[in-house]
């Protein structure tokens, strides 16, 4: 996983220069109608880092193709400038490169309810899954992109 220093070097510090960061990196993704029809809990627009727009769409389309999209019952956010939960540092959500899904079913440090096949799609495309972390930091709702 990338260090906070590496993230700041790549994207800048969203706490100290939010406007500059957002102008350079953040985009409003209009979620395609067919994806929203298949996964109705998704909003029509998602504000995210431009580097994950295409890979998130690819991931969602693969889940739909395999019939695994029905596991997604809530969208719980991408961009949120905040401290990292459970430890020091800045959350990857602060750079708009992490997605939370099914937070109520996959709480921080709680049980992970995703199927192995669902998680495999995310991993195979290159996402880091919070479901894979140790019990002390397990975060089943969390998927982060660091392949930039």
- List, for residues 38-88, the tens digit of each pLDDT value: 999 999 999 999 999 999 999 999 999 999 999 999 999 999 999 887 667
Could you give the domains of the chain? 4-144 (3.30.1380)
Phi-psi region at 72: left, alpha or beta (left = phi > 0; alpha = psi -120 to 50):
beta
Contact of 97 with 145, CB cutoff 8 Å: yes
Measured distance CA(139)–CA(98) in Å, rounded: 12
* Nearest residue to 63 (alpha-carbon basis) of 35, 44, 33: 35
pLDDT for the residue numbered 100: 98
Residue 27: enclosing H or E segment and its boundaries? strand 26-30
Rounded CA-CA distance 63/35 in Å is 10
85 vs 123: CA distance, rounded Å: 22
Q: What share of the chain is helix, strand, coil (3-state, %, to 5)?
A: 40, 15, 45
pLDDT in tens, 3-41: 889 999 999 999 899 999 999 999 999 999 999 999 999
């Amino acid at each position: 996983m990338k260090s906070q220093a590496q993230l700041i070097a790549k994207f800048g510090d969203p706490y100290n220069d939010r406007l500059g960061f957002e102008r350079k990196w953040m985009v409003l993704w209009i979620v395609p109608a067919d994806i929203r029809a298949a996964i109705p809990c998704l909003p029509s627009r998602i504000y995210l880092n431009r580097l994950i727009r295409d890979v998130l769409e690819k991931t969602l389309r693969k889940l739909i193709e395999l019939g695994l999209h029905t596991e997604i019952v809530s969208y719980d956010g991408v961009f949120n400038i905040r401290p990292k939960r459970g430890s020091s540092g800045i959350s990857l959500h602060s750079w708009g490169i992490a997605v939370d899904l099914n937070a109520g079913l996959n709480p921080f440090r709680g049980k992970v309810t995703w199927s192995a096949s669902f998680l495999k799609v995310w991993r195979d495309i290159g996402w880091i899954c919070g479901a894979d972390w140790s019990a002390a930091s397990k975060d089943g709702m969390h998927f982060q992109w660091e392949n930039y």
